[in-house]
Structure 1
Amino acid sequence: MREGDAVLIAAQSGRALAQSARRAGLRPYVLDLFGDADTLDLAEAHRTLPGRFGTGRHGTDAVLAGLNALAGLVGKRVFGVILGSGFEGSPALMARIAAHYRLVGAGPGTVAALKDPMLFAALCERLAIPHPRVTTAPVSNRYAWLTKRSGGSGGSHIRAATAGAAPPGHYYQARMRGRACALNFLADGRDVAVLALTQQWSRPSALRPFRFAGAVAPGRDEPSHVSPNMLAAITGAVAGLVKATALRGLASADLLVDGDAWWLLEINPRPGATLDAFDRRPTPLLAAHIEASLGRMPRLDAPPVDAAGSEICYAARRYTSVPPLDWPDFARDRPRDGSSVAGDAPFCTVTAQGPDTAAVRHTLRERAGTIAALLDGRTESHGYRYQAAEHQQADGPADRPAGR
């Protein structure tokens, strides 16, 4: 990688990756579903796609055509393609992309192994990793099970289990109690380097009771919310999966922790929603992602002293035309003036830093309220309803898809 290299970015929302690419001295060319105002400011060029990535033959061809169009604007060699959310259920599409461009991050074979629920469950069983039971067959007590979409992300695809066999493209996973967290790490195909263990929470709606809301990376000197032995066990389990699947690049492991017990829900083999919180070390995180993707584990700088986090603000109603807004500095993923946002869909993201996790979560709550008040034309923000951490967390689209 050289200063000024061009990279293609494809994701449901490409803003965070584009921002990290700029910090790493790269020129981002972005293909995503939104074309948010700050994404357009960061990108050298941008193309917008409708719908969900890789849905049917038309969706696959549209992704490839979009990447080729952006590559044609580069004017010199493209270093590679960085994939974000939206490809977890499309390893075949990833393979088609890899036939034309260097993939930065997990390869299609790795994603296929990690995101197929039955293969992943079998792998966890072989490695003695605690993982909830999964099945596609009818379940006797459907209140003890959840329905999830294979390759889903963001939690918006999770529902209570239904009668009969799981719908096509879905599976049942046993409900488990616990607090949601995630181990964020770098992988080089052989080993892992831990970035942080984040705390996560959800903001349920009537249609999406488990949708992801936000996460906080703790400050350097904060005590961990899990014991050293548990953290070592989780890290060892993730390292075993990395070796078994040759996972490379930035990734995260979604977990539930309940007292002395823990369960690994899934691996997200890509840069995730907490990229803003992590890309604060002297060495740009995307540069580390590229090095690890090439099979060379970089030496990580010490984590920041303060905590940082982000939270998604969901639209309380449909906006057929987003009005001009006086956006605060802490708002990201800002929809363009005049664009449409479906009710219950992500509207923007708020970020915060603070001395510890509690302070950051308090600030995020206030800032989410500020956005709600801004949309309502109010000056007070105390009416914003904030949802505490959800007990069953895991990782869908209208005008603005529900997963980022």
Structure 2
Amino acid sequence: MLAESVASGGATAVALDLFGDVDTRAAAAAWHDIGSGGQLALDGAALLDALARLADEGDVDAWVAGSGFEARPDLLARGATLLPLLGNPPEVVRRVRTPGWFYPWLAARRVPHAAVSVAPPVQPEGWLSKDARACGGWHVRPALTAVPGGGAGHYFQRRIEGVPMSVLFLADGHRWHIAGIARQTIRPLGGHQYVHRGGVGPIDLPAAALDALRAMVDSIVGGLGLVGLNGIDFILHEDGPLLIELNPRPTASVALFDDCVHGELLLAHAAVCRGAALDALRFQPLRAVRGSEVVFAPHAGRIDDETADWLAGQGWCHDLPVAGTAHAWGDPVCSVSARAESTAEVDRLLAERRRAVLDAVAHAASAS
């Protein structure tokens, strides 16, 4: 997604990730594997080695961090010494991902957010156990089942009724511009009740809720000096938006709102991180509703040649696995997208396409 945004804007990207998907390699001039032995985990040494080699070669002048660094601000800092980092400083990431600092800071600024405790609640019913240094929702579970001593990022959040949503915005340290608001797709997967699957947007909010969300973004951007692309996950509650977490980096919503600015979002991110004024960017209205959803493997298996070719032949299929790729239960197989005039039609198309991918994966398993 990030490499495609750079390529769509007319620039050249080198991709570093754990997958090396077909479309990632097609969008990038080169790809470097920074995975840890097929465990879907970031290998810090591999990342630093790749950044050092790119710096020595001299063709790459900066890098952008996506997801996976929530628990590794130290790795961001070390990487920034090798090649300039375009994004928020590692210290900002550390603070945002330290619940004992971040949520009291929000309270002091009167930013509406979910009730949070770093200590186990006396009455755990209605509370969730979470890890601020993880992503994707796999770590979220009822507080009743929480494991004691969950680590530095472990905290508890009261469960909130409402619609899970997110806002993606571009900031220059003081000012900001909302790229789009999305409704998040959160569904169970096995014993994991709150797995993030994707999103649909743009979504219009009621005027009062939108004003409250803008005030939230304004307070956070000014207080932390955020730069570049950032995302806030929130619950649209009957009393208005309540912040769940802040992602101080480009988020998955880039796939929905990439063309909200002339030259695409990743190049706009790079420009403001290098000091360009927001006023110098050419923002434009989004012309359709878009959706994106990750499809997770329902069982262990392998993507055979036929399935890989079928996936690559669908214009709405992305993050395409290379033929021969093995997957365990719950691993991401690919993602599907849809574009239509309404959220209802996008939802219908995403469900239809998700089922088609799962059928293809099941057929491959039965044929093996």
Contact 1:274 1:309 in 2 (8 A): no
Give the equivalent residue in structure 2 for 1:283.
263
Residues 189-268 of structure 1 aligned to structure 2 (within 5 Å):
189-218=173-202, 224=204, 226-268=205-247
Whose relative contact order is higher, 1 or 2, with alpha carbons under 8 Å and at least 6 apart? Answer: 1
In 2, distance between residues paired with 1:294 and 1:30? 20
Unaligned runs of 5+ in 2: none
Contact 2:23 2:320 in 1 (8 A): yes
Contact 1:179 1:256 in 2 (8 A): yes
Name which of structure 1's ranges 89-98 and 127-136 shifts more when overlaid on structure 2: 127-136
Contact 1:320 1:340 in 2 (8 A): yes
What is the number of equivalent residue pairs in this alignment? Answer: 352
Residues 149-160 of structure 1 aligned to structure 2 (within 5 Å):
149-160=131-142
Quickly say closer, same or farther: Cα 1:371–1:122, change in 2 above 3 A.
same
The alignment's TM-score, normalised by the length of structure 1, stands at 0.82
**C-alpha displacement at 1:367, in angstroms?**
1.0
**C-alpha displacement at 1:97, in angstroms?**
1.0
Partner amino acid for 2:107?
E
Unaligned runs of 5+ in 1: 1-15, 379-404
Partner amino acid for 2:164?
A
In 2, distance between residues paired with 1:31 and 1:142? 41
Name which of structure 1's ranges 111-120 and 318-327 shifts more when overlaid on structure 2: 318-327
1:96 and 2:83 equivalent?
Answer: no
**C-alpha displacement at 1:53, in angstroms?**
5.6
Q: Secondary structure at the match of 2:267?
A: helix
Name which of structure 1's ranges 31-40 and 321-330 shifts more when overlaid on structure 2: 321-330
In 1, distance between residues paired with 2:14 and 2:134? 25
Give the equivalent residue in structure 1 for 2:281.
299
Q: Secondary structure at the match of 1:81?
A: coil
Instruction: Choose from 96, 121, 127 the match for 1:145.
Output: 127
**C-alpha displacement at 1:102, in angstroms?**
1.1
Contact 2:293 2:337 in 1 (8 A): yes
**C-alpha displacement at 1:275, in angstroms?**
1.5
In 1, distance between residues paired with 2:283 and 2:303? 44
CA deviation vs aligned residue, 1:81-138 (integer Å, no higher than 9, x gap)? 1110111221111111111211111111221222211211011101101112322322
Name which of structure 1's ranges 80-89 and 285-294 shifts more when overlaid on structure 2: 285-294
**C-alpha displacement at 1:311, in angstroms?**
0.6
Residues 158-169 of structure 1 aligned to structure 2 (within 5 Å):
158-161=140-143, 162=145, 165-169=148-152
**C-alpha displacement at 1:164, in angstroms?**
7.1
Quickly say closer, same or farther: Cα 1:141–1:22, change in 2 above 3 A.
same
CA RMSD of aligned residues (A): 1.9
Give the equivalent residue in structure 1 for 2:45.
61
Instruction: Choose from 59, 78, 84 the match for 2:60.
Output: 78
Partner amino acid for 1:175?
R
In 1, distance between residues paired with 2:161 and 2:175? 29
In 2, distance between residues paired with 1:340 and 1:70? 29
Contact 1:137 1:166 in 2 (8 A): no
In 2, distance between residues paired with 1:147 and 1:365? 29
Give the equivalent residue in structure 2 for 1:393.
none
Higher helix share: 2
Quickly say closer, same or farther: Cα 1:52–1:363, change in 2 above 3 A.
closer
Q: Secondary structure at the match of 2:242?
A: strand
